[in-house]
Amino acid sequence: MAEEQRRRGADQGFLCRVALRASQGWDWIDKRAIDKHVLSWGIFFGTYHVTRWAMAFAETSTGSDDALVIASVMAPYMALQAAAMKFYFEARK
């Protein structure tokens, strides 16, 4: 088994080529900070949907506790958005 582990670096098999290409692909993504951009756009997209849901909920319901329901859903998501934006702008430095 020790011999097999030493030979893996020089192995030219199919899985090694796939792993090499995946590693090169991730390096390309990482150098351009694409992952950070996708994260921020995903959070923005989620914010749009949560806000759209809250407005639809506010239009259709007539209870007095509507603001509490909306706040209890949106507050944690806004905390997530704030943390993601902080990460995004700190990663750009």
Structure letter (DSSP) for residue 92: T
pLDDT tens for the 93 residues of the chain, in order? 444 444 555 667 788 788 888 989 988 888 888 888 888 889 999 999 999 998 888 888 887 788 888 888 889 999 998 998 888 888 766
Phi, psi angles (nearest 5°) of residue 55:
-70, -40
What is the length of the chain?
93
Is the distance from CB of 77 to CB of 50 less than 8 angstroms? yes
What are the structure tokens assigned to 10, written together? 């020089």
CA dihedral 80, 84, 86, 90 (to 10 degrees): 160
Count Cβ atoms within 10 A of the Cβ of residue 90 and give its class: 0-12 exposed, 13-18 middle, 19 or more buried. exposed
- Give φ, ψ of 22 to 5 degrees: -65, -40
pTM of the model: 0.61
Q: Where are the domains positioned within the chain?
A: 1-32, 33-93
